[in-house]
Amino acid sequence: MKITSVKGTLDYLPKETALRDYLQNTILDTYRSCGFERITTPILEDIENLDKSEGGENLNLIFKVMKRGEKFTEAIANGKFNELSDIGLRYDLTLPLSRYYACNKDKLSTPFKVIQVDRVFRAERPQKGRLREFVQCDIDILGSESINCEIELIDTTAKALLRVGIDNFKVKINDRRILRGIITGAGFEESECDSVCITFDKLDKVGIEGVKAELEEKGFKQEAIDKFIEFVSVKEFNLENASKFVEDKEAVNNLATIISTVKSLTNGKYDIVYDPSLVRGQGYYTGTVFEVESLDFHGAIAGGGRYDNLIGKFLGQKVPAVGFSIGFERIAGILLEKGASNQASPKRIALIYNQNEVLEAIKKADELRKEYYVTLFEMPKKLGKFYGKLEEQNYYGCLILGEGNEMKIFG
């Protein structure tokens, strides 16, 4: 039998799990303190719900669960090989949340400020840093169109990051409507917007020349390409430049208000900037999109945006919604590298006893448990070697059961 975990999944050691639990609990407490409430949705989701969602590239990454019993044999017998699955594993927490809200909204507050911290699954090609089973940490506000939601989500997410010790970051923000205004303003068709966006999203990685080359490769009109490149090559392409391309000024004014309000809340601990090339992959975003970029570690550590049409697909009535998701695995990786640990929990000590004294040992341990986490060990053959192992496992100290024995403190 195979002893390694499935490709793209990880076994977490006790030390790693302790850090992940601490991290999750700290983020959860920050979110709860800010008035968000946690819910739990199933990992299993109807395959049609998943397939028909607008998850962008994630739709190609769905793990499909096979039908069982007669339904499976029937599908095989009838050669319906595209109907072998009835359930899938969710690829994010936003689609299940939309279904959940549609199903349970009468029992929930309005607006509904919600936390989800849970696992998602994506059949990514296994490679370093790409997990197939990982944790996402989302907060969402459902049922309000107010830009105060965006402000609160950014403020709350930043609070959580700062509290777990991630401090060198900036928030980037954009609005899909502005992005579309610029693209169509340059002469692209509405229908070409998504493809142009996907290329423009790579600006950070390939530079303006790289973007131009890829747009040309894709065979768009040269005139539109040239105009677009000219627009966005303006040395500091700011909201003022952007506003020229958008008829409805609401999106521009909103961004300006969000940015100035958040700036007043940061206490100088982080910055928020308009980023004209920020796209975010998901197809369901309709307005603002935002991202947290770590300045110590290349890349995004949180991302989100407004998705005003997704819940309507389940409910048949429009429910505005906006969410922000922390890349939990990314943060956990950064903190593990930094050597962070859970300072809050009690110290661990070992209580060593002779095999026939288990009753006394448990009673003694219970006394010590008022102050420590206490592990019982039967007397080992080689005590010196055993001490070494306890130290390796980050035990704070060790006590041998018996009157008059004193606790040995390590390190």
Which residues 92-121 are close enough to bind a copy of itself by CB under 8 A?
99-100, 102-104, 107-111, 113-114, 119, 121
383 interacts with a copy of itself by CB under 8 A: no
Asked if residue 25 lies in contact with residue 135, where contact means CB atoms within 8 angstroms, the answer is no
Minimum Å gap between C-beta 406 and a copy of itself is: 20
The alpha helices in 109-266, defined as continuous H runs, are 148-163, 176-185, 193-200, 203-217, 222-233, 239-243, 250-265
Minimum Å gap between C-beta 167 and a copy of itself is: 18
Q: Which amino acid does the sequence have at 266?
A: T
Q: Is the dihedral of CA 226, 285, 137, 269 positive or negative?
A: positive
Minimum Å gap between C-beta 12 and a copy of itself is: 4
The conformation of residue 378, written as its DSSP 8-state character, comes to E
126 interacts with a copy of itself by CB under 8 A: no
Among 373, 350, 361, 370, which residue's Cα sits nearest to residue 402? 361
The conformation of residue 278, written as its DSSP 8-state character, comes to -
Q: Which residues pair with 199 in a beta bridge?
A: none
Report the site for a copy of itself in 130-149 (rule: CB under 8 A): 132-133, 144, 146, 148
Minimum Å gap between C-beta 18 and a copy of itself is: 7
State the Cα–Cα distance between residues 369 and 131, nearest whole angstrom.
38
Report the site for a copy of itself in 6-25 (rule: CB under 8 A): 6, 9-14, 16-18, 20-21, 25
Q: Which amino acid does the sequence have at 336?
A: L
Site size toward a copy of itself (CB under 8 A) is 96
Minimum Å gap between C-beta 181 and a copy of itself is: 26
State the Cα–Cα distance between residues 210 and 252, nearest whole angstrom.
27
376 interacts with a copy of itself by CB under 8 A: yes
Report the site for a copy of itself in 30-69 (rule: CB under 8 A): 32-46, 48-49, 52, 63-66, 68
Q: Which is nearer to a copy of itself, 123 or 256 (CB)?
A: 123
Q: Which residue has the tokens 């906006």?
A: 322
Q: Which is nearer to a copy of itself, 102 or 239 (CB)?
A: 102
Q: Which is nearer to a copy of itself, 233 or 393 (CB)?
A: 393
Q: Which is nearer to a copy of itself, 148 or 195 (CB)?
A: 148
